[in-house]
Structure formats: C-alpha cells, structure tokens
Chains A and B, each alone.
Chain A
Amino acid sequence: MYKIVRKEVLSPVIKLFEIEASHVSENAKPGQFVVLRTDEKGERIPLTIADFNREDGTVTIIIQEVGRSTKELGKLEEGDYVVDFVGPLGKATEIEKLGRVVCVGGGVGIAPVFPIARALKEAGNEVISVIGARTKELLFWEEKMADVSDQLYVCTDDGSYGHKGFVTDVIKQVAEDVEVEHVWAIGPMPMMKAVAATTKPLELKTTVSLNPIMLDGTGMCGACRVSVGGETKFACVDGPEFDAHEVDFELAARRLAYYQDDEHRVEAATNHSDGGACKCHEK
C-alpha cells in the first residue's frame, strides 16, 4: 500500500498526486515511469514520473482522467492509498550538454517533459520550452516550466490562452530563428506525430516518449510493441523514448485503439452503478 500525501486538482480532469514510494524515488530519473494499480480489481496503468523527492521518499504523478482507471484514481484523496506502485521503469532520458534545446509538452505531456527540461537546464543547456493544450483549462505548471526554461511559449488550440495555434507552429518559428540541437516532445500521439513531421525536413534531432498500452512494464509481455526504424521494440524497456523520425506512428495509434469498445463498456458499467450520473444516453 502506498500513501497519497498530497493531491492537487490542476483542472477538473487533471490531478496531481504525490505518493510515498521510496523504492521508486531513490532511483528515479527523468524520462522514467511507474505502473500503478488503485485497488485489487484495478488495471495496471503506466504513468510518467513528473517529479520525485528523495528526502521525503515521494514520487509525483499527474493524471488526465480519460477512462475508468484514471477516474478511479482521480477520486482518491490525501491520506488514501493505492495498492500497487512499481518503478522506476523504462530507460532514463540521456541528459547531456548539447547547447540549445527545445522541450515540448502537449496536454498532460507537460508533466513528463518537466523533469527532462529541468535536468537539461541543470546540465548547462539553453532550454526553450513550448507547452500547449486544447484549451486554457487543460494547461498547468506554467510557472514550474518557466522556472527551468530560458524561454517559455504557451499555446492553446482555441486561443483561450497564450498563442492561438499548435505547438508545431512555435517549434517551426523557433527553429527558423535560432540554431537548435535537439527537440524533446511529449504529448498525445497525434501531437508527437505532427512534431516529428515538422522537424524531419529540418533535420532536427527529435525524441518522443511513446505511450503504448502496457501491462507489466518490465519487458515480460510485449503488449507495448512499437515499430521504430522497421524494428520491433518493447517501449517499456527499450524506451519509452525513441527517435521521432523512425517511429511508425500509424501503427502506434492503431494499437492504442484496440480495446476501445471494452473501455467504453467498463465506463458505461461504472456510470450506471453510480446511479443517475449515467451520461451514456446523452451522447
């Protein structure tokens, strides 16, 4: 059992949890993730380590509620427990002094890109960060990102805050204006695909963090297979970071959708049992 010591509601659907798990915080590095299960009947869901505190033995995760498991987690409060918390998993980001780098976080992808930006900054890089979301309500950690960046650009698809448009518009502009050594981009699959398509013609080295469906997170099952440069990789142990220009995004997106009908069934079941809160007929 792992205790939730702090909860912060960053938006109605985005929540932060700081959880006691010293076996994870002791060894955690930027780019890594955990697998969590809220209760005995729960799924094992992978979540990125957004921050960690070795002294307190805690790990911070930020979730966006998208389905049953993330919603169950979202309901938990300070002082509650989750039954399982495994990590740190995956390879850590390779942090080097490169010069000028761009860190891009889309939506809940802002969380995982934060520790990477911070480490890159600490390693002596000039860090330009770009964060974006569909709308203002889904943005968070603007200040924290600003603290670890030399420059921060903020954009929303609908223009409700910051620059109106996509992160790719900003990346293109930055790359035109100044010399950039490397781009890290983390966010929804379509965003990462768009970033890859933007930086490829510019021959700008780009790393993405893939989020395929995972089960064990230790290389045991192969659920997380992705195709990179024509080779099959297990994202949980060979990644989750890969060269954006080599990733087969189409396959990755299709694999993410395989259980959609089951996911809807599970959600419908919860909504019914919530008694009256059921929204499944309104859609």
Chain B
Amino acid sequence: MSRKVKTKHEMPVQDSKERITNFDEVALGYNEEKALAEANRCLECKVPNCMKGCPVEINIPKFIGAIKQKDYKEAIREIKTKNSLPAVCGRVCPQEAQCEKYCVIGKKGDPVGIGRLERFVADWEFANENSSSSMEVGEPTGKKVAIVGSGPAGLTAAGDLAKMGHSVTIFEALHVPGGVLMYGIPEFRLPKDIVQKEIDKIKELGVDIKVNYVVGKAGSVKDFLENGYDAVFVGTGAGLPYFMNIPGENLNGVYSANEFLTRTNLMKAYQFPDYLTPVKVGKRFAVIGAGNVAMDAARCALRLGAEESYIVYRRSEEEIPARAEEIEHAREEGVKFLLLTSPVEFHGDENYNLNSMTCIEYELGEPDDSGRRRPIPIEGSEYKMDVENVVLALGQGPNPLVPSTTPGLDLTKKGNILTNDETGVTSIQGVFAGGDIVTGAATVIEAMGAGKKAARAIDEYIKSTN
C-alpha cells in the first residue's frame, strides 16, 4: 500500500480575481484522478468514527470503498439510501463540524475530504444520467399527504413518502421550489440547475408541487386535514428576518439578508436589466453578522460591483459561525473583516438613502449561555464609517403564517413548532413538522434528517389509521 498523504487533495477553484466578476460556481470539483487519490486516503475503518458526524448516517467507508473500485454507480446508490440530495450536501454541509470532524486520520493531518467525494459521485451521476440508479416507487397506498414548504425538509419528506407509495402534494409559497437552496444560497456556491435536477427527480417519483400557494392565506393546515389529506408535514423554514431595532434601520439601502439574497438569487438581479428585479449595491457595502448567510451576502456584493465589502461582527475570529470554506473563499475574494464591532445607528442623506453608520467596538467577557464569550461594548469607542448599503444577517425566526392559522399547534417561546425529535409529531394529530421551523436556523442536512424521520413516522401513522 502506498504511503498516506497527510493533506486533503486540493479542490480546484476559479481564480479569485476572475470569479468576483461572475456568478459561476467557485469550487470546480475533483476530477476522477483526484477523487481516486483522495478516496485512497480513507482507511475504510471497521468502526468508522466519521459516520457519527453525519446526521443522516451515510455509510461513508462503504461509498468511499466503491469509489476506490471505480464503481461510482454503487457509490451513489449507497449514498442515496440515506441522502437524496448528495450534490447539494457535498457542496454545502459544514463538513468540518460534521463527518470530517470525526475522521480518524484527521487527528494527524487533514481528514478525508468526504464532502468533496460525495459531490464527485453525485456530479458523476448527473453526467452519466443513463446509468442513474432509478428509484423505485412502492405500491400506491391510496393515502394522501400534504407537505407545506419545499426546502430540504419538505423535499426529503415528500420523496420518501412517495417511495412508500403515498400520494404527495407539496404546497410552496414562492414561485420556485427548493426553499433556501433556491432563494438564499447563491449560484456561485450551489448552482441552481443542480438543485433543479434534484427537484425533478422528486417530481419523477410522482410528487405534485403546487407553487404560488401560501398556506395560511390560501388553504390552511386545518383545511388540508378536513379535505382528504391523511397527514400534513410542515417544513416552512426560518424565513422571518431579524432586525436590530436601532435608529435609521428603515433607510433606503438597509436590507435584510433575505431581501438582498432573494433579489440577487431567486429574482436574478445580477442579470438586471435582462431580468427585471433591481438590487442596489453601492461602492461601500457592509454585512452585519458572520454566518453562512453573511458570507454569501458579502460575496454577492463584490460580484455586483461593490468596491469594498465588509463583514462586521460583534465577536472575534474564533466565534465566526460560517463554514470554514466560505470564510476562506470570502477572504480570498477580498472581503474585509471588522471584528468586535457592531453598528449602533445608521445615517442617511436628504433622500433617506443610507450614507454612513456609527459603530461601536466590543471586547469579550465571560462565556454566555451559548458557551461563547459574551461581547461587551467598549464605552466611548464609537466611530463613523461611510457605507452605502448594509445587509443585516442576524439570523432568522419562524414565519408565523402557518402557526398562527393552525389552532392547537404548540409552539416554543420563540414561535418554533414543538415536536418529538424522533418523529416530528406535533400537538395536533396528523400534523408533523421538521427542519428550521422546529430547530431554528440550522443546516441543510439536519433539515433533511428531520424530513426523513417524519416521513417514517407519517407512514406508520397513516397505516395505523383507517
């Protein structure tokens, strides 16, 4: 056996100078040679630690073993028994906090690039569509399930339920299915045609997707139960933007991350005026927050013409919650990090257009509830900074449209739906929930995991009624 390489095989990327002039994908993916070399780093452990870190428990050594044999069809088949959106997860999972975190060889060097390999086989399947492992649909059961929301949670639940033979209809508020995968995460990180292909596969299973349908405004969850649906799954995500409640927040030029990213990605404002929805990006651009959402906004801004794009964050480098790769890519592209800093007021001109903000500096105190050191403002450290646009990426809450029109649905104090973790069962018989609407803003793979568990529980539930 050859000597093991300590470092992960590098991911080819678009050059950083070039890529900030386009919205094409940044990470280009392994070719076969690199994939084989990276797969060969895996020890195919008998007791694979890595699997502990994957929320849907993909058999990682098995799929990597199949790659080593060049049996990509088997590799993708293995992955798909657990994960129906591998092309997505291979790209956006925070692997360093999940599977790769637990990989044994990570103790002495880099862990195996599990996500990159997952992406490789998923892309291989797209390129070799004919040999695609066709998914079987069970005998029709005559049971009907309504799914509210078409993000990863809803899509996964829908796909699994369809495979079990149930008749599934997804109701989606926007004009496109996919949830955050379509409206939030930018094209350069997750190409929309890839998401679309995954959605098409779910449609091929017989799932009917009704877009432009706002549950709670058009029909409600209660209406579904009264009109022939045997069960309802709610996967409406965390779509309510938080604001800071500081002066000047309603000035023109201050966007929520949802608005900025929806204009840019869903409405394709980067192709304005060919596409009709505008978005404004001034020379100096600042994003408040440092999660994935914030990185996406700051990187979009550069591509839309900002000369300077800042991440403004209350805590320090160590606490930045975004995926490691996003932080790295943002830095390469020239995004600047203003740490231990946050705005206290926004200022505008006579037309109410934002032109500057007052910031205050912070220092870190004792750890808070989240275990992170609490940021404390430093008195007298205020200073003014010129800025034409600000994006607030402070996290999102649950949209109240469904909860408020579903009497009897128990909620947490924050307004998230209360469920049994293992089953997605809510306080209403026949109603299940999962994904960000239950956990608060989390990850794609966790939302999928919740959709999977709920599908199993829904299947049991509707078989038990009759």
Which A residues have a C-beta under 8 Å from some C-beta of B?
23-24, 26-27, 37, 41-44, 68-69, 83-89, 215-216, 218-223, 225, 227, 232, 237, 251, 254-255, 257-259, 262-263, 265-266, 269
Contact = CB atoms under 8 A, between A and B. Distances in A.
Interface stretch (B21-29, B276-284, B379-387): B276-284
A221 B259 contact: yes
B256 A222 contact: yes
B399 A218 contact: yes
9 contacts: A23-B219, A41-B268, A44-B277, A218-B214, A219-B401, A220-B241, A221-B256, A222-B243, A262-B272
Given A258-B280, A258-B353, A26 B218 contact: yes
A222 B267 contact: no
B214 A221 contact: no
Contacts of B401: 218-219, 237
B259 A23 contact: no
Contact of A221 (B213, B218, B262, B352): B262
Listed residue (A216, A220, A223, A265) with the most chain B CB atoms within 10 angstroms of its CB: A220
Contacts of B213: 23, 86
Nearest to B253: A258
A215 B352 contact: no
A220 B247 CA distance: 22
Contacts of A27: 217-219
A191 B277 CA distance: 27
Contact residue range for chain B? Answer: 35 or more
B214 A232 contact: no
A221 B269 CA distance: 15
Contacts of A258: 252-253, 280, 353
Interface string B243-272: 101000110110110110011000110001
Listed residue (A87, A259, A262) with the most chain B CB atoms within 10 angstroms of its CB: A262
Interface string B213-229: 11001110000000000
B274 interface: yes
A262 B211 CA distance: 29
A265 B273 contact: yes
Contacts of B263: 215
A244 B275 CA distance: 35
B175 A37 contact: yes
A266 B269 CA distance: 12
Contact of B276 (A26, A42, A89): A42
Interface in B149-185: 173-175
B130 interface: no
The 10 closest A-B pairs by CB, nearest first: A262-B278, A254-B352, A221-B259, A258-B252, A222-B256, A84-B175, A220-B239, A86-B212, A43-B276, A23-B218
Nearest to A263: B278
A278 B208 CA distance: 44
Contacts of B272: 262, 266
A220 B276 contact: no
A187 B278 CA distance: 25
B241 A43 contact: no
B173 A218 contact: yes
Contact of A86 (B173, B256, B259, B268): B173
A60 B427 CA distance: 39
Contact of B273 (A23, A26, A251, A269): A269
Contact of A255 (B250, B259, B278): B250
B171 to A, nearest CB: 9
Interface string B307-332: 00000000000000000000000000
A43 B262 CA distance: 12
A23 B256 CA distance: 30
Given A23-B219, A42-B276, A221-B256, 4 more contacts: A44-B175, A220-B258, A220-B399, A257-B351
Nearest to A34: B212
Given A37-B175, A41-B275, A218-B173, A255 B252 contact: yes
Listed residue (A68, A83, A258, A269) with the most chain B CB atoms within 10 angstroms of its CB: A258
A87 B213 CA distance: 7
B267 A88 contact: no
A215 B273 contact: no
Nearest to B348: A254
B182 to A, nearest CB: 13
Contacts of A43: 267, 276-277
A220 B262 contact: yes
B376 interface: no
A88 B212 CA distance: 10
B428 interface: no
Contacts of A44: 175, 267, 277
Contacts of A227: 250
Nearest to A252: B250
Contacts of B175: 37, 44, 83-84, 86
A42 B268 CA distance: 10
A219 B367 CA distance: 34
A254 B267 contact: no
A268 to B, nearest CB: 9
A219 B240 contact: yes
A68 B278 CA distance: 12
A262 B253 CA distance: 14
B252 A254 contact: yes
A222 B259 contact: yes
A86 B214 contact: yes
A216 B277 contact: no
Contacts of B214: 86-87, 89, 218
A186 to B, nearest CB: 20
A42 B274 CA distance: 9
A221 B241 contact: yes
Contacts of A221: 241, 256, 258-259, 262
Contacts of B268: 41
Contact of A232 (B173, B174, B250): B250
Contacts of A42: 276
B211 A41 contact: no
A237 B401 CA distance: 9
Contact of B217 (A68, A87, A220): A87
Contacts of A254: 252, 351-352
Contacts of A225: 250
Contact of B258 (A37, A83, A222, A263): A222
Interface string B178-210: 000000000000000000000000000000001
Nearest to B404: A237
A213 to B, nearest CB: 10
